[in-house]
Structure 1
Amino acid sequence: MNKIIILGAGRQGVTAGEFLRKKKSDVTFIDINDDNLAYAKREGFNTIKKAMNTKEIIAKEIKGYSAALSALPARLGRTAHLGAIMSKTNMVDVSYSEDDPLELNAMCKKAGVTIIPDAGIAPGTSNLLCGRLYKSFDKADTIKIYVGGMPEKNLPPFGYAVTWSPEDLISEYERKAKIRKNFKELIVEPLTAVENITFKGFETLEAFYTDGLRTLSKTLKNVKNLEEKTMRYKGHIDKIKFLFEMGYFEKSAGVTSPREASIELFKRIKYKNLRDVLLMRVIGEGKIKGKNKRIEYQVIDFADNKHSAMERTTGYSLAAFSYWLLRNPQKTGSVLTPEEIGMNEKYFSDILSLLEEKSVRVTKKSI
C-alpha cells in the first residue's frame, strides 16, 4: 500500500485524499489549522498538527512516504519543493507559486526527485490539454485557455462567490499576465482584452487576461500565439476594477489595510445552498496535413452533494496526477510539467480516465 502525506488539509486537499484512499493508499494530512484538521479527521484520515513553513520541517515530515502532495498556500510553494528535494520524496503540487518551478530542474535531477507543479485544474489539467494539442498538430499556431469557476447563477453583488483564498483571488486580478503574440513574449495588464464567450446553458460570459501560462511559455516554444483568460459573468470586471480604483485592495503597514478589510468582507459574503460550476475550454489552431484545423477540449463540471465544482476539479486533478506518478515512477528526477505528460498520448489518456472515474469529463471537438 502506498503511503501518502498531504500538506494542507483544506477542502481541495481532502478531496484529493478521498480519491487516493479509494485507490488503496494510506493517506495522512499535516496542517496547523485546527478547523482543517478537524475536517480531515471527520473524513477518517490520519492527521498531524504542525506548521509547514520551512523546507527543513517539510523535509523531515514527508521523508519515507511514497509521495507527498502539496496543497499549501501559494507563498509556500517553493518551500515545499525544496523540502521535497531535501528529503528525496516525489511531490505533486497544486499551489500557485509565483516562483518558476523549472528553475529547480537541475536540483531535482541530482536528487532523483520528480516534482509535478501546478497540478490542479488550471493550471494543471489545462496544461495537460495544451500538451496534447501541441502534439496533435503538425504545427500548432495558437493555443488559448479559457477557464472560470463561478456560481451556477449570476449572484449579487459581484456575480461571483469566493470559494477559495480571497488573498489569492485578489493577487490573480492584479498580477500582470504573460502572453505570446507572433512569437513575441509580452507582459500585459490583467483584466484587459475583454471578450464575450458562450457555453451552452449559461448566459454570456466575459473573458479577460490573467497570468496562467506558467510553464507553458517555456515548454511550448514553437507555438506562435499563447494566452490564458479567466471567465466571469458579465459585469464582474467593472466591479472589480472599481474596487481597485477606489483603493480597496491597497496594502499598508502597521494598521489594518484596505486589502485586509476587503479580504475579510469577501469571507463574510455567504450564500445559502450555493452550487458552483467550473467551465473550461482549451482551443488549439494549426495545420494537420497541410490543412488549417481547430481542436477544442471542454470541461463543464458541477458541484455534487458533497463537493463544489472547484473542489472536484482541482482535488481530483491533483489526485489523478499523483496516482499517475505512483503508477509511473520516473527513471530520472526532474520538474515534470502537466503539459509534458499530455504530450504522451497514453499518459494523457491515463489521466483523463482517472478524472472520468469521478465524472470530471473532458470532451473534444475538431473543426
Structure 2
Amino acid sequence: MKVLVLGGCGIQGRTALHDLASDDQVTEVICADAQFDALSKINPFTPMEKIILTTIDAKNADDLVNVMKPVDVVIDLLPKEFAEPVNQAALTAKVSVVNTNYMYDPGDMHDKAAAAGIAILPECGLDPGIDLVLYGSALRRFDTLTGIKSYCGGFPEKSACTNPLNYKTSWIWRGVLSSTKRDSTFIVDGKRINIPGARQHDVANIHSVEFPGLGTLEAIPNGNAAFFTDRMGLADTIVNTGRYSLRWPGWAAIWRPLKDLGFLDETPVSGLGDGTISPMDFMDKFLAPRLVYQDNEKDLVAMLNIFEGVMTGKKMRLTSTLLFERDLDTGLMAMSKGVAYSAVTAAKMIANKQITDTGVLSPMFHIPEAPFLESLKKRGITVTETLEEIRD
C-alpha cells in the first residue's frame, strides 16, 4: 500500500507518518510538504526508510496531481483553504482522499467523485471524525433519536496549566482563535437557536459538565449541530442537539471581554506596525510562542457524546466518553493522535476496500464502526459506553 500525506511535516502529519511507516501493510509513504526539518522529531522512533520526501507547492494543481498519481490513497492534512484544490486534483488523478475538515456544502463534488470512481471522505479526524462515527452508530442502534449533545476539547493536564488561560496549543493557535468566533446552530426544545460567534462566550450560552477523571469542565458552543442531525434525517424527531468545546473553567470569562473590546477583529489597525496588522494578527503572533508545551508536559483530549431516544420501546440514554493524553516517550500530542489515527485508519480502509462507496462520503454512514474503533483502541484511544434507561 502506498499512501500520500499532504502536510506531512505538521503536528498531525508527523503522527500520521509515524503510524503509517510502522504498519507492515504500508510499503511506501510519500511525505509532501514545503520543508522537512520537523521530521527530526519523529526520526528516533519511526522507520524513516519507508518515507519518501517530496517538495510541493500546494497551490500548484500540477504538483498535486503528479504527487497523487502513484499512490493508493491520499491523506490531506493541509490547512482547510487547500481542501478544494486537493479534491479537484484527486478527481484528476483518480485517487481517493481523506481529510479532517468540515464540508458543509459539497456542491457537485459528490457526482464528480462518483464518476471518477473515487471516495472523498471529509470530516474524518477527531472532531469532526470520531464523534461522527459515534453519531452513525447511535442512529443505527436507536429506534428514534431525540437528543444529541457532543462535547470535545484539547487542553493541558493540570500540572501544565502554567498561564492564566490554563491552555496551551496542540494545533494551530490561529485556528483556536478563529474557533472562538464560530457561529453555532442548536436545537433546543424543538426550536432552532442561532448563536452568533460574537456571543459564543456569553454567560447564558455556556454551562458546566462533569467529566469522569477530570471533574468540572466548561462547555462552549461550537458549530452547527443542527446540520448533522439534518443529515441524519432527524429533522422531524430531534428535540435537543448541540456541539460544544471543552475547556478548564474560566476560559469564557477571559475571552468574553477581549472579544467585546475587539481583540479578535481582523481589520488592520492604523499605527500598529506598518498598518497591515490586525488585532487578530497581534493575538496570534504575540500569544502563540507563550502557549507552547514543554517536553515534559501532556495535553489531554476529552470527548463526551450523549444520545437520547427510544430503543426497543424504552427511553434510553447512551453516553460515550474517551480520554487520552500525550505520549511523552515519543512526544506525540494527544490532539494529533486523535486526528491522525482517525484519518489514517479511514484511508487504509479505503485502500483495503473495506470502504467501497464512491462520491463524497461521511464518517456517519460509510466508516465501519467496529473495525474503526478497534483500530483506535490498539493505538490507545478507547471509547467507553454506558447505556441506561431514562425514568420520568
Same fold flag (TM > 0.5): yes
Report the equivalent of 1:251. 266
Q: Decide whether aligned partners of structure 1 residues 326 and 213 sit closer, same or farther in structure 2, where only a CA change above 3 A counts.
A: farther
Match of 1:335 among 356, 360, 377: 360
1:291 Cα deviation (Å)?
A: 0.8
1:237 Cα deviation (Å)?
A: 1.0
Which stretch has the larger CA shift, 264-273 or 210-219?
210-219
Match of 1:201 among 183, 189, 213: 213
Instruction: Tell me, yes or no, if the aligned pair for 1:5 and 1:30 is still in contact at 8 Å.
Output: yes
1:325 Cα deviation (Å)?
A: 1.7
Report the equivalent of 2:271. none
Report the equivalent of 1:166. 173
Report the equivalent of 1:264. 285
1:16 Cα deviation (Å)?
A: 1.6
Report the equivalent of 2:53. 47
1:21 Cα deviation (Å)?
A: 2.2
Instruction: Tell me, yes or no, if the aligned pair for 1:58 and 1:80 is still in contact at 8 Å.
Output: yes
Q: Report the residue type matching 2:5 in the other structure.
A: I
1:213 Cα deviation (Å)?
A: 4.1
DSSP 3-state at the match of 2:180: helix
Match of 2:242 among 215, 221, 227: 227
1:50 Cα deviation (Å)?
A: 1.5
Identity of aligned residues (%): 23
Tell me, yes or no, if structure 1 residue 131 matches structure 2 residue 154: no
* 1:141-156 aligned within 5 A: 141-153=146-158, 154-156=161-163
CA distance in 1, matches of 2:35, 2:336: 19
1:12 Cα deviation (Å)?
A: 1.0
Instruction: Tell me, yes or no, if the aligned pair for 1:92 and 1:119 is still in contact at 8 Å.
Output: yes
CA distance in 1, matches of 2:225, 2:183: 12
CA distance in 1, matches of 2:13, 2:225: 23
CA distance in 1, matches of 2:356, 2:43: 36
CA distance in 1, matches of 2:286, 2:351: 41
Q: TM-score, normalised by structure 1?
A: 0.91
CA deviations on 1:301-344 (whole Å, 9 max, x unpaired) are 011122111112111111111122222255552111111135xx
Q: Decide whether aligned partners of structure 1 residues 176 and 49 sit closer, same or farther in structure 2, where only a CA change above 3 A counts.
A: same
Instruction: Tell me, yes or no, if the aligned pair for 2:150 and 2:305 is still in contact at 8 Å.
Output: yes
Instruction: Tell me, yes or no, if the aligned pair for 1:74 and 1:98 is still in contact at 8 Å.
Output: no
Tell me, yes or no, if structure 1 residue 293 matches structure 2 residue 295: no
DSSP 3-state at the match of 1:198: strand
Instruction: Tell me, yes or no, if the aligned pair for 1:143 and 1:283 is still in contact at 8 Å.
Output: yes
CA distance in 1, matches of 2:321, 2:383: 6
Report the equivalent of 2:34. 32
* 1:310-349 aligned within 5 A: 310-328=335-353, 330-341=355-366, 347-349=368-370
Report the equivalent of 1:8. 7
1:232 Cα deviation (Å)?
A: 0.4
1:226 Cα deviation (Å)?
A: 2.5
Instruction: Tell me, yes or no, if the aligned pair for 1:105 and 1:334 is still in contact at 8 Å.
Output: yes
Tell me, yes or no, if structure 1 residue 276 matches structure 2 residue 281: no
DSSP 3-state at the match of 1:204: strand
CA deviations on 1:203-228 (whole Å, 9 max, x unpaired) are 41110111164962442121503321
CA distance in 2, matches of 1:331, 1:311: 27
Instruction: Tell me, yes or no, if the aligned pair for 1:204 and 1:233 is still in contact at 8 Å.
Output: yes
Q: How many residues align?
A: 361
Q: Report the residue type matching 1:363 in the other structure.
A: T
CA distance in 1, matches of 2:104, 2:73: 22
Report the equivalent of 1:20. 20
Q: Give structure 2 stretches of 5+ with no counterpart.
A: 269-274
Which stretch has the larger CA shift, 168-177 or 42-51?
42-51
Q: Report the residue type matching 2:68 in the other structure.
A: I
CA distance in 2, matches of 1:114, 1:161: 35
Q: Give structure 1 stretches of 5+ with no counterpart.
A: none
Report the equivalent of 2:185. 178
1:57 Cα deviation (Å)?
A: 3.1
Q: Report the residue type matching 1:4 in the other structure.
A: V
Structure possessing the higher radius of gyration over alpha carbons = 2
CA distance in 2, matches of 1:185, 1:85: 36
Which stretch has the larger CA shift, 31-40 or 19-28?
31-40
CA deviations on 1:53-106 (whole Å, 9 max, x unpaired) are 244432232123100000001111222222212211100112x25653465211
CA distance in 1, matches of 2:316, 2:107: 31
CA distance in 2, matches of 1:215, 1:117: 15
CA distance in 2, matches of 1:47, 1:215: 39
1:287 Cα deviation (Å)?
A: 0.4
1:186 Cα deviation (Å)?
A: 4.1
Report the equivalent of 2:381. 360
